[in-house]
Structure 1
Amino acid sequence: MAVDIQSEEARLIRQLIPLSTLPSQAFNSLCAQLQPEHAEQGTVLFRRGQRDGDLYYLLEGSVNLRTETFTIETIAAGSDSARFALAHQVPRKVDAVANSRIQFLRLNADMIKMANEITYDENESAMMVDDLGDSDDWMTTLLKSPIFRSLPPANLQKLLMSLQEVSCAPGEVVIRQGEPGDFYYIIKKGQALISRKPSPNAKDIKLSKLVDLDTFGEDALISGEPRSTSITALTEMTLLRLGKEQFINLIKLPTLKYIDVDGLHEQMSKGAEVIDVRGPDEYRISHLPKSTNVPFFSLRMYLKTLHRHHPIVVVCKDGKTSEMAAFILQQNKFNALILKNGIAGLSQDQLLAEPASFAIDDGTETGNLLMPVNESSISVPAEPRGERSEEGPNDDLRQLVQQLKAKCRALEAEKITLELKCSALARQLEKVKNEQDRMGEK
């Protein structure tokens, strides 16, 4: 019998991982296929060495996970451990034996995969996690981060075992610009300031603010470059942090997707958008036909102009900056693909050399540099493709207005960048003048 989505049973199932990350439409569709089962004490759910692809979730009672000689762990329904599939490694490492009369759910892994692939409306109110109870549940906090939605259940469980909870006092520097990356952070509670020094002796420039559920620190872990910004606690903060090695193995590797040149042509033939995240000067020298120049610095301001209904191929010099850009896109629910080896892997006859349209020149790739995303700061290089209806005078006028607005926003973003540069140059000039004055006094 299918599960009634309004029942208490459905509420319990909704808290299971990764079912808790499914959009409502996908979860409701899955419930129609679910049939909870019962088993008496002593029943063996599976044995060591089995290679079946089923996932077992405990809803009532308790289960012993044991080897031939002793019980390793007893899982009780309702516990944090019970939110994950029981000993889901294949082949099975242990026997799972009912410790009491139990109710359980048996899912084929393909069912979850199919549910994850269901398309959904971006405006759906319950996009990621529906009612999961107490807002202080740190596991729920984790699942509200979009990047975790597509991770395999095994990765999620290892993540929870690897995460460390740390506290920060107001004014404490969590990460410092120029230092090597060591952790990936999730803000469980609190606020932090992002700042950056344009030069070693310059004053900090305040860039943006982070709040509950925001994440940071991934750029340095992905690229291997030093931290490009500093993060300072504005309030008492509670953070969840994940070490570099765990981040790469559990998040980066299963999240980022790569394609070669043949894959690029195939995706472009299907309408994929190609964005080049190098600086404008590099882009002018050579770039892919039909690509749009969006310097990495400007990517977060550009997000609202991109379509979620087709893939986005990210291109850079050698693929490293593309990895950071693709991670940002994945966090914001885009299907991002990385051109492996970047422009360096292409021949010159595959490239063009001409100015980029509405390029935003930040002068440098800044890694984890965030800017506020709002209507007044969005850079729109051109009208998105495939959105126009039947052509006519009103459509032409509407397109012209959109293009003019795009130019204004691009210029506004460029103005912000230039103001930052001018501020840095002014400080450097003052430093030189002071040094000259000291030399004159001698």
Structure 2
Amino acid sequence: MVYTVSTVGEFISTIEPFKNLSPNTIQEISAQFQPLKYDMGQIMLVKEKIPPYIAIIYEGQARCIAYDPRNSTPVSVQLISNGSVIGWESLIRGFPCETAIASTPVVALTLERDKFLDLLKKHPSLKEYYQNQVGLIEIFELLGQQLLQRATGEGNLKELVKDTIIDSQVCNLSAGKARQ
């Protein structure tokens, strides 16, 4: 398949939250996305490293993997496909937390980390969207740590995350001293 700025722009204009940008802005950022192919089983993001880009799945499917803190077992928490954005959670929160592995051959449109962060500065609506977006991996980690601290510590963490994420909300606090 041939990837042109116009086909990338048409695709990007259907993806939340990019679809809320002006057509001119979409056209401008479309030229900055680069297609990247992954073979089935290839690692797309690694939990231990801040990703060099965000990636939007254009073709194929991948699995988001989390690690249960009670036993370090990898858990497939979500199957993602066309239009899913990965990498944002690590970049927005400022620490590496995402692992994704291609389940089929994948073509992803990637936007370099610095370009993504610049885009957030220029478009406050994008920054607000991602800052207020509850990340599946962060909910998994948070609930996993809570289970780890309990005496029984039992339960299906994946199911607990699915039940909890619906009502979850992000609260962004300003930098500064914590009140006691």
Q: TM-score, normalised by structure 1?
A: 0.29
Equivalent residue letter for 1:221:
L
Superimposed CA distance per residue, residues 271-313 of structure 1 (whole angstroms, 9 cap, x where no aligned partner): xxxxxx9969xxxxxxxxxxxxxxx99764237xxxxxxxxx9
Q: Does 2:72 match 1:202?
A: yes
Aligned to 2:113: 244
- Does 2:171 align with 1:315? yes
| Counterpart pick for 2:127 among 256, 261, 283 | 256
State the partner residue of 2:156.
none
Q: CA deviation at 1:232?
A: 0.5
Aligned to 2:153: none
- Are 1:302 and 2:173 matched, yes or no? no
> Matches of 1:299 and 1:243 in 2, distance apart?
32
5+ residue gaps, structure 2: 129-137, 144-160
- The aligned residue for residue 174 of structure 1 is 44
Distance 1:298 1:144, change over 3 A: same
Contact in 2 for aligned 1:163/1:242 (Cα 8 Å): yes
The answer as to whether partners of 1:175 and 1:232 remain within 8 angstroms in 2 is yes
Q: What does 1:40-439 correspond to in 2, within 5 Å?
A: 137-199=7-69, 202-226=72-96, 228-251=97-120, 253-254=122-123, 255-257=126-128, 300-302=165-167, 314-316=170-172, 318=173, 341=174
2:119 is paired with a residue whose SS is helix
Number of paired residues? 148
Give SS of 1:204's match: strand
In structure 2, distance between residues paired with 1:158 and 1:180? 25
Q: Structure 1: how far apart are the matches of 2:32 and 2:121?
A: 15
| Deviation (angstroms), 1:157 | 2.7
Cα deviations by residue, 1:71-98 (Å, 9 ceiling, x for unpaired): xxxxxxxxx77x7xxxxxxxxxxxxxxx
Tell me the distance in 2 between the aligned counterparts of 1:299 and 1:155.
35
Secondary structure of 1:162's aligned partner: coil
How many Å apart are 1:151 and its aligned residue?
2.3
The answer to whether the Cα contact below 8 Å between 1:196 and 1:206 also exists between their aligned partners in 2 is yes
Higher radius of gyration, 1 or 2: 1
Conservation of the 8 A alpha-carbon contact between 1:222 and 1:252: no
Letter in 2 for 1:315: C
Contact 1:181 1:225 in 2 (8 A): no
Do 2:45 and 2:99's aligned partners in 1 also have CA atoms closer than 8 Å? yes
Deviation string, structure 1 residues 3-39 (Cα, Å, up to 9, x no partner): xxxxxxxxxxxxxxxxxxxxxxxxxxxxxxxxxxxxx
3-state SS of paired residue (2:115): helix
For residues 245 and 157 of structure 1, what CA distance do their matches in structure 2 show?
18
Partner of 1:287: none
Any idea what SS the aligned residue of 2:108 has?
Answer: strand
Instruction: Confirm or deny: 8 A CA contact 2:64 2:100 kept in the other structure.
Output: yes
Task: Give how far 1:193 is off.
Answer: 0.8
Paired letter, 1:177: K
Per-residue displacement from partner, 1:383-402 (whole Å, max 9, x unpaired)? Answer: xxxxxxxxxxxxxxxxxxxx
Alpha-carbon distance in 2 for matches of 1:158, 1:178: 32
- 2:149 aligns with none
* Secondary structure at 1:197 match in 2: strand
CA contact (8 A) 1:181 1:224 kept: no
Q: With CA pairs under 8 Å and 6+ residues apart, which has the higher RCO, 1 or 2?
A: 2
Which residue number in structure 2 is paired with residue 328 of structure 1? Answer: none
Structure 1: unaligned runs, 5 residues or longer: 1-79, 84-136, 258-276, 281-295, 304-312, 319-340, 349-442
TM-score, structure 2 as length reference: 0.67
Q: Distance in 1 between matches of 2:36 and 2:94?
A: 24
Query: Residues 33 and 109 of structure 2 are in contact (CA less than 8 Å); yes or no, is this contact kept in structure 1?
Result: yes
Identity %: 18
